[in-house]
Amino acid sequence: MYFPTLNTTYARSALALAVFLAYSNVQAVEPATTSVSNTALDTHSFAIARQPLANALDQLSTQSGLQIAYSADMAQGITSPGVNGTMTTRQALTQLLTGSGLEAQSSGENAVVLAPVPQTGSALELGATAVTSNLLGTVTEGSGSYTPGTIATATRLVLTPRETPQTVTVVTRQHMDDFGLNNVDDVMRHTPGITVSAYDSDRSNYYARGFSISNFQYDGIPSATTNVGYSAGNTLSDTAIYDRIEVIKGSTGLLTGAGSLGAVINLVRKKPTSEFKGHATLGAGSWDDYRSEVDVSGPLTETGNVRGRAVAAYQDKNSYQDHYSRKTSVFYGILEFDLTPDTLLTVGGDYQDNKPMGSSWSGSYPLINSKGDLNSVKRSFNNGTDWSNWKQYTRTVFATLEHDLGEGWVTKLQLDHKLNGYDAQMGSIQGDYPYEDGTTPINAQRYVGNTRSNSADLYVSGPFQLFGREHEMVLGGSISSAHWKGQGYWNPIYQGTNLVDFNNWDGHAEKPAWGPVGQYTDDVIRQTGTYMTTRFNVTDDLKVLVGGRVVDYHMTGNTPSYRESGRFIPYVGAIYDLNDTYSVYASYTDIFIPQENYNRDRNDRLIDPDKGENYEVGLKAEFLEGRLNASLAYFEIKESNRSVPDDAYNNLKPTPSNYAFVGTKARTKGFEFELSGELSPGWQVQGGYTHKIVRDDNGEKISTFEPQDQFKVYTSYKLQGQLDKFTVGGGARWQNTAWQNIWNSPHGQYEKFEQPDYWVVDLMTRYQISKNLSATVNVNNLFDKYYFTNIGFYNSAVYGEPRNFMVTTRWDF
């Protein structure tokens, strides 16, 4: 991939200053792309969509490691037809150059120079060059596509979705830009098979296949932070700094170790670009929602061997909820250094702050009043006081060192240090209120703390020969630790009477003094593991993946100590190509997760860890030379120790002083269909249908607050002819009825509360005002549907957003 000469030192100076300013606000350093080598005669599976030639050449270098040198203006204005299939790197390059008037000339064992197809013969003057490749998979930025080329999240092997024996969903940079998906919450609402459940205004939980998703990865490194319930800033992470967000469905213990049984979310950061470029955006929307963003990237030296990128974004928004607002700021800086032709060093960092005011807490309103009747409130009702706030922040530094060992083997070291913090001074209306006279007390508490986590991962990857065929292997090890320290203030001190008028609630209430600390958290989790993945090319059509991870897990602190040593987590998968389009696959994956601190039995002992075994079979397909991907999967998850209330003990009279849990078996069965990519030139789509049912060991349905069935589809189309400056699109999501049996204390019984099935429809339109300037309009919840995004959390509910719009202008330079 090529890094062109910058004709102006001013551009380099501006970028250097921007990166410096980003770093001055951070404490950051971590992973990114790579310097990799392979000969032009090596065979690879390519999946490169139709796109600008410069981007296509970048992706070819990423997928193969071939060094490609060319002058900047040679690729300008040229569209490559793309390439898909298994072939040599030289053959793939020839296809990418079809119709370009360019040809590749050898410039060494692992390098080529592009030149015009000879007519009269002339000398070619080259600008500076540099080479990068990406062991995280294909960069989606600039591809214009809703589907990825390759990914590495599932196995560390860089494979196409069709070659990966699990269900994989990737929301690309183009999809995020088209629909204004500015935080992870927004992205998950667009992701097939994911349920977004709002705890309150500043905290969300995600579910996949019937399980809460507690695992986040950043550039493939698992985050050691586990206190998702206290909101460590993961769900509100701003997407301005990410190239794509990947969701691997099912158990992911191979690379994660201990973690969620349903899925893992991998956030892949943006990388520096080979040429100077950038953009600035300004947006304004409903409820005084204002957003700005600046992104600058390019080479910092004449030769392009040092590259940088800086991103800054700021959002100031009010809300449909009364007296609630939030300010979000993010800074991101990353630098790449080509230390040698075979060695790449990347350092970077990010800084994110979320500062809300008027935060709701435990829902947005209580479901039941003191008589046991359901409360009826406006959609804008906010149970939080006007001083209530759940502040969150993250500080990250990361570094990556990648080296080409020769003969297709590479090694990669990733380091990550993260600080996730919160200061929640909360006050809200909770419980069976109001009283019959319309008054209600305020529940006020404060939580403050942070988690300092460190992660390191080292692996080698490359091909080897066995029985006359070439196969691939990854061998690595990782270590991580997370130290969570926090305090809870549970005994507020009021000067006056702590009662407010529920029916005329405006958020005004006395802010108490917090009094003494009522809870201390001081927990440390340490995890180490070694892992291996091997992909055997048994025949041209049959690939078998075999691997596993050996885990040591140790939890100490105020929670009960727990240790797991030498636990083996297997991974087995097979893919058989029926033809050039379709493949069938099967896989078995495994994972375990220790219980939360409150999941204790009647003897106050932490119950044993939960374990999940994921069985999956399916059909995958690539259409239109890999520009469109589809998958159909049937899955079963066998759960061995799901935590449920110990009713036989909890319902004893007199009522026990402690609330107890027991472990039970459960089984999830379901299927998923997904489609992503280009239906025809200019028409992108991503969507899917998911059906699943979770039953306990008595055959009773559980996790019913999630829908059994859901459907999501989002699409955009660039018009042709005289209307080619317009891009139009839209999407819809549907789910069937969800319900929760909640305890009605005044009635002394469980009662069913449900959310009927509903549709939410969104629209988008972009107009390309000039070559560099565009304007996009997004309308969400077009038909202003009333629905809940949470039912039953602490006997509360949260309404989804009403109809709203956002207008965004973007200037590319």
The CATH 3.55.50.30 portion of the chain extends over 42-116
pLDDT band at 228 (very low <50, low <70, confident <90, very high): low
Judge whether residue 313 has pLDDT over 70: yes
DSSP 182-233: -BHHHHHHHSTTEEEEESSSS-EEEEETTEE---EEETTEEP----GGG--S
Judge whether residue 475 has pLDDT over 90: yes
Judge whether residue 795 has pLDDT over 50: yes
- CA distances to 104, 193, 395 from 270, in Å: 29, 25, 17
Residue range 502-522: average pLDDT?
95
The CATH 2.40.170.20 portion of the chain extends over 268-812
Residue range 654-681: average pLDDT?
92
Task: Name the token pair of 248.
Answer: 């691997």
Q: Name the percent of the chain lying above pLDDT 90.
A: 67
Helix (H) or strand (E) holding 528: strand 519-537
* Cα–Cα distance for residue pair 78/99, rounded to 1 Å: 9
Q: Name the percent of the chain lying above pLDDT 70.
A: 91
Contacts of 71 (CB under 8 A, 6+ apart): 4, 114, 124, 125, 126, 127
Q: Which of 116-125, 649-658, 796-805 has the lowest mean pLDDT?
A: 116-125
Residue range 762-791: average pLDDT?
97
pLDDT by residue (tens digit) across 371-400? 999 999 999 999 999 999 999 999 999 999
**Residue 78: predicted pLDDT:** 79
Amino acid at 606: L
**Residue 2: predicted pLDDT:** 38
Residue range 185-204: average pLDDT?
94
* Cα–Cα distance for residue pair 366/792, rounded to 1 Å: 9
Higher per-residue confidence, 520 vs 226: 520
pLDDT band at 122 (very low <50, low <70, confident <90, very high): very low
Judge whether residue 23 has pLDDT over 50: no
Contact 525, 482 (CB under 8 A): yes
Residue range 112-116: average pLDDT?
82
Contact 490, 453 (CB under 8 A): no
Residue range 786-792: average pLDDT?
93
DSSP 576-641: EESSSSEEEEEEEEEEEEPPPTT-B-TTS-BPPPEEEEEEEEEEEEEEGGGTEEEEEEEEEEEEEE
pLDDT by residue (tens digit) across 164-185? 999 999 999 999 999 999 999 9
Backbone phi and psi for residue 482, each to the nearest 5 degrees, phi listed first = -140, 130
**Residue 54: predicted pLDDT:** 78
Backbone phi and psi for residue 179, each to the nearest 5 degrees, phi listed first = -110, 10
Judge whether residue 813 has pLDDT over 80: yes
3-state secondary structure 329-396: EEEEEEEEEEEECCEEEEEEEEEEEEEEECCCCCCCEECECCCCCECCCCCCCCCECCCCEEEEEEEE
pLDDT band at 40 (very low <50, low <70, confident <90, very high): low
3-state secondary structure 712-749: EEEEEEECCHHHCCEEEEEEEEEECCEEEEEEECCCCE
Vertex 749: Cα angle to 747 and 753 (nearest 5): 95
Judge whether residue 482 has pLDDT over 70: yes
pTM for the full predicted model = 0.85
**Residue 232: predicted pLDDT:** 60
Judge whether residue 37 has pLDDT over 70: no
Judge whether residue 800 has pLDDT over 70: yes
pLDDT by residue (tens digit) across 550-573? 999 998 888 778 888 999 999 999
Q: Which of 447-456, 509-518, 601-610 has the lowest mean pLDDT?
A: 601-610
Region for residue 747 given its phi and psi (left: phi exceeds 0; alpha: psi -120 to 50; beta: otherwise): alpha
User: Across the beta sheet with 102-106, what order do the strands follow?
Assistant: 67-69, 111-116, 102-106
pLDDT band at 542 (very low <50, low <70, confident <90, very high): very high
Residue range 663-684: average pLDDT?
95
Judge whether residue 107 has pLDDT over 70: no
Contact 335, 347 (CB under 8 A): yes
* Cα–Cα distance for residue pair 348/396, rounded to 1 Å: 8
pLDDT band at 109 (very low <50, low <70, confident <90, very high): low
C-alpha dihedral (533, 261, 692, 173), degrees to nearest 10: -70
**Residue 16: predicted pLDDT:** 46
C-alpha dihedral (122, 127, 133, 138), degrees to nearest 10: -80
pLDDT by residue (tens digit) across 238-285? 999 999 999 999 989 999 888 889 999 999 999 999 899 999 999 999
Contacts of 79 (CB under 8 A, 6+ apart): 50, 51, 52, 53
pLDDT by residue (tens digit) across 746-766? 999 999 999 999 999 999 999
pLDDT band at 439 (very low <50, low <70, confident <90, very high): very high
Q: Is 467 exposed, middle or buried (0-12, 13-18, 19+ CB in 10 A)?
A: exposed
Query: Average per-residue pLDDT in the chain?
Result: 88
**Class of domain 42-116 as given by CATH:** alpha beta
Backbone phi and psi for residue 27, each to the nearest 5 degrees, phi listed first = -140, 55
Centre a 10 Å sphere on the Cβ of residue 494 and count the other Cβ atoms it contains.
15
Judge whether residue 126 has pLDDT over 50: no
Judge whether residue 653 has pLDDT over 90: no
* Cα–Cα distance for residue pair 155/252, rounded to 1 Å: 9
Q: Which of 187-191, 213-217, 729-733 has the lowest mean pLDDT?
A: 213-217
* Cα–Cα distance for residue pair 756/742, rounded to 1 Å: 16
**Residue 169: predicted pLDDT:** 97
Say how many CA atoms lie within 13 Å of 430 toward its Cβ. Answer: 18
Helices 53-64 and 89-96: crossing angle in degrees, nearest 10, is: 170
Tell me, which fold does domain 268-812 have in CATH? Maltoporin; Chain A (2.40.170)
